[in-house]
Each structure stands twice: as structure tokens, then as C-alpha cells.
Structure 1
Amino acid sequence: MAGAHPPVWRRRLAVKLIEFREQAGKSPAEAADRIGCHRTKINRIENARLGISLGELRDLLTFYEVDDPAEVDDMVSLARHKREPGWVRRAALVRPSIADLIHYEETAACIRTFHGTLITGLLQTPDYARAVLSTRPSNLGHEGIEALLEARMKRQEVLERADPPRLYVIESEAALRVHVGGRQTMRKQMDYLETMAGHDCVELRVIPDRAGAHAGLSGSFVLFSFPNPAYPEVASVEHRTGMLFMETQEEASEYAVIFDALQSIALSPEDSLDAISLARKNL
């Protein structure tokens, strides 16, 4: 799996290395001579098929005259990417694309998400998440469900960091009424939504039923923006067997327009809390 689809951190590193080399007017052969390797190694590094040691990376950055401390630190951080923790590896065995999703969540400065029928994964309680995962007709099995549940809960820790991403959530009012896991599970889920809505890095808004037809009816999505301007926005759509990532500017821009349109018809954060409270009372 890894050979067929290099992880996003390695692809980012490769893209930047090519950019720096071309800006410096150097050829792959010259880069190979610089670090004392065969040209095929440079090709594999730039194709994201092979990692690079910190020593080789620093040598190439010097050769390419990259002296911006922020750029150097970002490249070193990518090259230093450690092997994924056990919970990521277990989840990736079930859904390979989840490794890229986790990387995007961990490196994003801003996450915008719209969900039409379910509570967004970053704000789900364990009971709610288990009910969602358990009711999907699939061959996941008990171990697969547990691996994805563990990952979903671990992913939420990104919001507790000292420098969390800004999370903008738009939920359909219909998602507040679907009795996922039963009434008790939904009451706890509504309580948790109210708690997280008070988090400094979270803005939660609800689209009321009375809004009628809107741009979000075509499906849920997540949009990631990153602090490094060299990384374009990425849109993500979940499907039956994983995640589809749209990494071109044109694709991501389309979803940004959709999100802005949804914000324009959503309730204010304060009124959205009232809608959540009413949904809990009506359970």
C-alpha cells in the first residue's frame, strides 16, 4: 500500500525539493554528485518513493541556497517524520487513506467541515462513534471497528494541543435528530457538542431545516488550510472504503465557495447552541 501511494508528508517533501532544485538551476545529476549517490536515488526521492536522511537533506538545502529558517525547519520536520504510532498503523490497515487524513488534521491551521446527516468525527463521543462504525454494512469485523474507533478518538487530541487548528463546523439540523446509538447516546452527544462549542478553537453552527435546498445537499466534506503558504488547501470527501483527497487549487476552491455559501445560511453560534439544546430536549 505504501509503495503504491506515498504518504502525504513524503510527497510534500518531494515537491519542495524539486522546487528548490529548479529554482537553484541544478540538475538531478548535480544533486546526486553533491550528496555522493546515484542519480536514481534523487529520482526516487523526488518521486516520493524514498525518504532522505537529515544529513543529505541539509546538504541539498545548502546546495540549493535555501537559507530561510522557516523553510529549513519545515523541510527538516517532514524528513524527520517518525514512524506512525500504533493506533495510526492499526487504522491504516483497515482504511489506508486514514494516514493522510491524520497528517492533514495534525498539520492544518484551519479545518472547515460540513456534515449533513452525522456529527463530524472530530466532535463525536465514543458511544456515538461506535454506533456509526458498527452499523455500516461492511467486512470490517470487530477488530477493524475497534481500530477505527481508537483512531477517531485519538484524532480529537489535535484540538487539545497548545496550538490547535481552528475548527469551523457546520452541521445540518437533521444530524441532531438522527438517533444514532439511541436516546442516551444522543443526549451525551448533544452535551459534548455544547461543551466543545465553548472551546476557544471551535466554532459550531447549524443549518436549520427551514433553510431549504442549499449547496451542502450534494454531500459532506472537510477542507484543510495550512500555515505554510506553499501547501495548497485540500478538500476531503469520505466514501464507503476510505477518503478521497482533492489537492488541486481548482477542486479545493470549489469546496471553499460551498462552505462560504453554507455559512451564509447557517444559524449564528449562539442560535446554534439553542438548536442543539432543543434537539436534546426533544429526544
Structure 2
Amino acid sequence: MTETRPPSVRRRRLAILLGNLREAAGISPDAAAEHLGCHRSKISRLENAKLGVSLSELRDLLALYGVEDQSYVESLVQLAREARHRGWTRHLGAMNPSFVDEIDHEQTASYIRTYQPHVIAGLFQTSDYARAIYKANPEALDAKRADELVELRMQRQEVLHRDEPPRVSLIVGETALRNSIGGREVMKGQLEHLLSLSERQPVEIQALPFATGAHAGLTGAFVIYTFPTPAYTDVVCIEHLTGTLHLEIEEEVGAYTLAYDSLRSSALPARASRDLIHQVLHDL
């Protein structure tokens, strides 16, 4: 039976890796199909993520492609297991697929680096703050839809409360701290929430003050996701009005990693960042 829903981001990643490994080994799709005892079209469907690979087929293909590093083999096997599921994101219905993939990254990453110059990052938003943002949407979301999106936002934040949460680094612009989204009381609650999170491990919050001047983040917000398995390279996500751009090419990811490291150097240290947030609270 042909699947009607898009493949998970993990299946797509595994499909790309299988294609790359086969080509690097100099093995044709016909030879791979003969090794598995299947039609050539199956290899094409595996490498296009239209078909999932069984664990036994995966091990056979990796042996054929000359992959001898057992830790890498096991990381691919684990990726194949995870590729069968979308987790709770399968309930998101008509959401833009690129947005669903970003949530998938968020829920599976071991390290999240996010730079937000204009708004508080989603993982750190209070429900009132998030609701104020959704109400400002020019598409004029009705109250029910806004509530659904707020609930989704709060559900996403549960990743911070897991037994083994990801390491999270946030660089937030002073504009975001002073932009009165939702009014005084909403911002008061939001800033107090940010201070509370800044005292938790493994969360690091740094503020980028107005006085910084020119810096490496002038082109806008972005998030870098790092994953626990070596089979999955870092991914940069950039949200835009109609979806999310995902960057996985090594040179592009490297440029954003360099920019983030520069921003960390430009931003205030954690203690001074908390002092600035306290000052903004006092100024409300």
C-alpha cells in the first residue's frame, strides 16, 4: 500500500545516507537490488524515502557498501527504528510539512542553539505571550485556532522537562525583551518566566544589548539543531512567513555555526544577561 502522509524527517535523512553510501562504494542500484533479491525500483524507493527499510535489509546494504564502523552501523539502525514514527507530530494534521519537520528536530535534538532578536524563542514563551503573537497574525486566526496553536506551543516545551532534556542555548535581543507583546502584565510574566528558566540546567540564556552595535546576527533569527546520533548532521532552521527553511549542507551549517559562536561572544554573559532582564522588568 502506498503511504499517503509525508515520510518522517528521519526516514528522509536515512534515505539520503543510503544513497550517498551506495554511490561512495561505487555500487549500482541494480547491484544493490540483486544483493537484496528485489527489483531495482525498491532501491530507488528506499533512497527517495518512499519506502521504509527493514533492519535486516539495512544491515545487508551497509555490509555491501563496506561500512565497517559498528558504532556508525548501530547509529543508522537506531535511525531506521526512529524513522518509522513521527511521535506526537503525527497528530498535527494540516500543518505545513516544513513546520512539522522543525518540531521533529526540536523533539529529537540533544543540543539546540537559537538566536531570536525580535521575539522570545518559542521554547521559552508563556501561553499569554504566545497567544498575543498568534492574535497579531494578519490571517486573523479565530480564537479556537489560536488556542490550538498555543496548546501546541506548550506541548513542544515539554522537551525541556524530560528526564534528559536537550542542552539549550538562547541568545535573545534586547528588542525582544523590551517589545511589549501583549501589554505590561503579559511581558512581566514572560520576563519572570525567562529568568526562572535561566536558573535551570542545561539552559543558557544570553542577552544581546542595544549597545552591541553591528554583530553577526543582523540578517535575522535562526536555530541550529544537533542530534545524538552521528548519522544525523546538524540542521539549521530559519522560519519565514509561510514555512521553515531547512539547511543541511555542511558549508551552510558551518556559516551559521560560526555566526552563532560570534553572537555568543558579543552577547552578555549569563549573570549580566539576568541583570539586564531584571532591569527591563523594573522599567515596565
What TM-score bracket applies, with the shorter chain setting the length?
A: 0.7 to 0.9
Aligned letter for 1:177? R
Deviation at 1:64, TM superposition (A): 3.9
Q: SS at the partner of 1:215?
A: coil
CA distance in 2, matches of 1:85, 1:110: 19
Counterpart in the other structure of 2:45: 44
Aligned letter for 1:238? E
CA distance in 2, matches of 1:147, 1:32: 46
Superposed counterparts of 1:1-283, under 5 Å: 6-66=7-67, 68-80=69-81, 81-86=83-88, 88-91=89-92, 93-138=94-139, 140-283=141-284
Q: Which runs of 5+ in 1 are unaligned?
A: none
Aligned letter for 1:239? H
Q: Which runs of 5+ in 2 are unaligned?
A: none
CA distance in 2, matches of 1:177, 1:143: 28
In structure 2, relative to structure 1, the CA distance for the partners of 1:171 and 1:92 (3 Å cut) is farther
CA distance in 2, matches of 1:149, 1:220: 21
Retained in 1: the 8 A contact 2:236–2:247? yes
CA distance in 2, matches of 1:103, 1:42: 26
Aligned letter for 1:32? A
Deviation at 1:62, TM superposition (A): 4.2
Q: SS at the partner of 1:199?
A: coil
Retained in 2: the 8 A contact 1:232–1:248? no
Cα deviations by residue, 1:254-274 (Å, 9 ceiling, x for unpaired): 212221222222111001011
Which stretch has the larger CA shift, 7-16 or 54-63?
54-63
Retained in 1: the 8 A contact 2:52–2:84? no
CA distance in 1, matches of 2:148, 2:281: 29
Cα deviations by residue, 1:95-132 (Å, 9 ceiling, x for unpaired): 32122112222332321111111001111111111211
Retained in 2: the 8 A contact 1:113–1:169? yes
Retained in 2: the 8 A contact 1:226–1:233? yes
Which stretch has the larger CA shift, 187-196 or 138-147?
138-147
CA distance in 2, matches of 1:91, 1:146: 14
Q: SS at the partner of 2:189?
A: helix
CA distance in 1, matches of 2:147, 2:76: 34
CA distance in 2, matches of 1:172, 1:203: 14
CA distance in 1, matches of 2:167, 2:23: 34
Retained in 2: the 8 A contact 1:123–1:156? yes
Deviation at 1:171, TM superposition (A): 0.6
Retained in 1: the 8 A contact 2:19–2:47? yes
In structure 2, relative to structure 1, the CA distance for the partners of 1:256 and 1:208 (3 Å cut) is same
CA distance in 2, matches of 1:92, 1:277: 40
Deviation at 1:85, TM superposition (A): 4.2
Q: SS at the partner of 2:169?
A: strand
TM-score by length of structure 2 reads 0.88
CA distance in 1, matches of 2:126, 2:219: 26
Retained in 1: the 8 A contact 2:76–2:231? no
CA distance in 2, matches of 1:211, 1:277: 19
Cα deviations by residue, 1:57-109 (Å, 9 ceiling, x for unpaired): 233334445454432332233322344345x2344513321221122223323
Deviation at 1:193, TM superposition (A): 0.7
Cα deviations by residue, 1:242-263 (Å, 9 ceiling, x for unpaired): 2111221222222122212222
Work out the percentage of aligned pairs sharing the same amino acid: 45
Deviation at 1:29, TM superposition (A): 1.9
CA distance in 2, matches of 1:43, 1:262: 42
In structure 2, relative to structure 1, the CA distance for the partners of 1:260 and 1:147 (3 Å cut) is same
Retained in 2: the 8 A contact 1:111–1:167? yes
Deviation at 1:133, TM superposition (A): 1.6
Moved over 6 A (4+): 2-5
RMSD (Å), alpha carbons: 2.5
